[in-house]
Structure 1
Amino acid sequence: MSVFRPFRFISKLEIEAYALNIWLQMERSHNPLQLPIDASIIAEFLDLNLVWDTIPDDEQGAIAARILPLEKLIEINENIPQLKGGFGESTIAHEIGHWVLHIDVEQVERYIRLKQKGVDVQVKPFLCRSSNLARIEWQAQYFAGCLLMPQHILTELKQDKDLTKWQHLYQIATDLGVTISNLTTRLQDLGWIYLDTDTRKIYLNRSS
């Protein structure tokens, strides 16, 4: 039995809308997100449990994280150092992206009800590998950026800031609780800045 959606193209705008919808749902429930953003609070709002644990390698290698759909559980591999620290929020948001975009939550609920009635239901975990460049991984990572750095929040935070100055970008990243890498990637995705990777100089857009 599977609860995983077949792959489909999802536009950036649609992914942005999925992420914004969570913000709006939390606001309507009188549980608005506060800065810096704690992604575990979003997981809890979505009725997802979250643990950092040891996930053994399989025949394909290291597993960065996995989702156990019927347990509504996100497990993140604590033995992969790059998933910790400042990247922790992005890692959690990435897995939330898989839950929202790639798992049929209604089907999950149906299977949970069957299991509660004693029916033997077996569902494989959703595996996420840090080295995987598959399109669904790109979708989940783009979702994470939208969830942790919504455009309307960035618009507020950039007031009186110069986006070409690193110290201003670091301040925005601190306010949001994300890494500077997460922030510059998001700002470039939005087309607000262009970062010259050779000189590390920032321009307001590619034509500057």
Structure 2
Amino acid sequence: MIIGVVMEKPKFLKPEEIENASLKLIAQYERKFGAVIKPPIPVEEILEAHLELGFDFEDLAGAFGVDDVLGATWIQERRVAVDQSLDPLEYPAKEGRYRFTVAHELGHWELHRHYFLADAAQLSLFDEEPKPPIVCRTSSRKDPMEWQADHFAGYLLMPGDLVFNAWEAIHGNREPYIAKREMADLSSKWGLAENAQPIVETARTLAREFNVSGQAMQIRLIGLGLIKTKQPGPDLFYN
């Protein structure tokens, strides 16, 4: 949710433009600190050591009076906060959600900070107290900036080359996995809707390696064409 003073309507960005921005950030980090040759991507180091942004856990839900605030970014103050409910030391099961939120805030910093006026007070639409210009809520996912930051997070946490390498290390090739039957079996077992896409085992395995949620990894694998949710049709071209 955007509550600051925006200079202009956010520019439409193609997925490949967002992906390129995430790869650029990784490359900049690597020039300072060395190549990232295997997962997980060090998003905290990118935020604090490379970008030199302040970072902390806070009671954001209490501060903003809503339950679904996950992260916030203060442009003028150069700092990011994540809600204390995602602290991985206190809630290890939420580490994937925590890392995605950090990467999401990095997406706002890289893609959107130039849209906000350099107003030292950064007045909120809620009141006259200084507030962060970017507040991220689960109910704001259709907002263009939130959509872009979500995609940035996925690309940053799961760069294509590292995902392909990890897939090949497990499967011995880069052939896609047809997940239709496994998804159908899981849906039947758990009583899910017919069109549901439950998380398959190979996505869970890679999610642990990249330290992301199974859902985030499955979405990425489908996007890369490594998981197919439908049986491919017959090849029209014969040898």
Report the TM range for the smaller structure's normalisation: 0.7 to 0.9
Q: One-letter code of the match for 1:63?
A: V
Any idea what the Cα deviations from partners look like across 1:27-62, whole Å, max 9, x if unmatched? Answer: 222333352223211111112121111022547764
Deviation of 1:188 after TM superposition, in Å, equals 1.6
Pair 1:63 & 2:69 matched: yes
| 1:24 corresponding residue in structure 2 | 27
Q: Calculate the aligned-residue CA RMSD, in Å.
A: 3.0
| 1:121 corresponding residue in structure 2 | 120
Pair 1:53 & 2:58 matched: yes
Q: 1:89 and 1:194, CA in 2 relative to 1: closer, same or farther beyond 3 A? A: same
| 1:146 corresponding residue in structure 2 | 155
Matched-pair contact (CA < 8 Å) for 1:35–1:176: yes
Pair 1:12 & 2:46 matched: no
Correspondence 1:1-208 to 2 at 5 A: 2=5, 6-33=9-36, 35-44=39-48, 45-55=50-60, 56=62, 58=64, 62-79=68-85, 84-104=94-114, 111=118, 121-124=120-123, 125=132, 126-133=134-141, 134-162=143-171, 164=177, 166-195=200-229
Gaps of 5+ in 2: 124-131, 180-199, 235-239
Percent identity between matched residues is 26
Give the count of matched residue pairs. Answer: 189
TM-score normalized with structure 2 length: 0.68
- Comparing 126-135 with 185-194, greater Cα deviation is found at 185-194
Any idea what the Cα deviations from partners look like across 1:44-100, whole Å, max 9, x if unmatched? Answer: 111212111102254776422211112211111124699933211111001110111
Q: 1:179 and 1:67, CA in 2 relative to 1: closer, same or farther beyond 3 A? A: same
Q: 1:130 and 1:28, CA in 2 relative to 1: closer, same or farther beyond 3 A? A: same
- Comparing 39-48 with 22-31, greater Cα deviation is found at 22-31
| 1:200 corresponding residue in structure 2 | none
Partners of 1:141 and 1:62 in 2: CA distance: 16
- Structure 1 or 2, whichever has the larger Rg, is 2
Matched-pair contact (CA < 8 Å) for 2:207–2:217: yes
Q: 1:167 and 1:5, CA in 2 relative to 1: closer, same or farther beyond 3 A? A: same
SS of residue in 2 equivalent to 1:64 = strand
